[in-house]
Amino acid sequence: MSLEVGQMAPDFEAKNEKGELVKLSDYRGKKVVLYFYPKDATPGCTAQSCNLRDNYDALLKAGYVVLGVSSDGEKSHQKFIEKQALPFSLIADTDLKVHEAYGTWGEKSMYGRKYMGTIRTTFVIDEQGKIAEVIDKVDTQNHTAQILK
């Protein structure tokens, strides 16, 4: 299932790095950057997360809340946040329910080998909970610029 601009963003309930329950509907009235990334502490994911960290003030000024989502667990997220000094929460989607709701879990291929994994995608969600933008060609080095364009 692929989500499109104008559709309501699927609500979800999942735990963050602190084990706290996070619901997308808790952010109604705010703009949300919901970014799906494959794995904590890998080069591309670190570059993407650090780009959002380095430009976090600009995102806040523009009214955004930032939430990262991967299939890694809470402890992995805690270490990643601490090591990279990330100022936003990461969702531990170990059961892949959030990925499936957003269509970001699928077949990938590397060096001719096919496997299932996270399809790096960012959803920009407006104050009413509708998808305002889908970024599926993520530039990990300049991701904030893609969001704020």
Alpha helix stretches (DSSP H) within the chain: 43-54, 56-61, 74-84, 97-102, 143-148
Q: Tell me which residue of 71, 63, 30, 37 sits closest to 51, measured CA to CA.
A: 37
Q: What angle do CA 54, 12, 27 make, to 5 degrees?
A: 55
Q: Of 9, 14, 45, 91, which is the active-site residue? A: 45
Strand partners, 116: 107
126 CB burial (10 A radius; 0-12, 13-18, 19+):
middle
Give the span between the Cα atoms of 3 and 68, in whole angstroms. Answer: 18
| 50 included as an active-site residue | no
Amino acid occupying residue 15: K
Give me the active site residues, please.
45
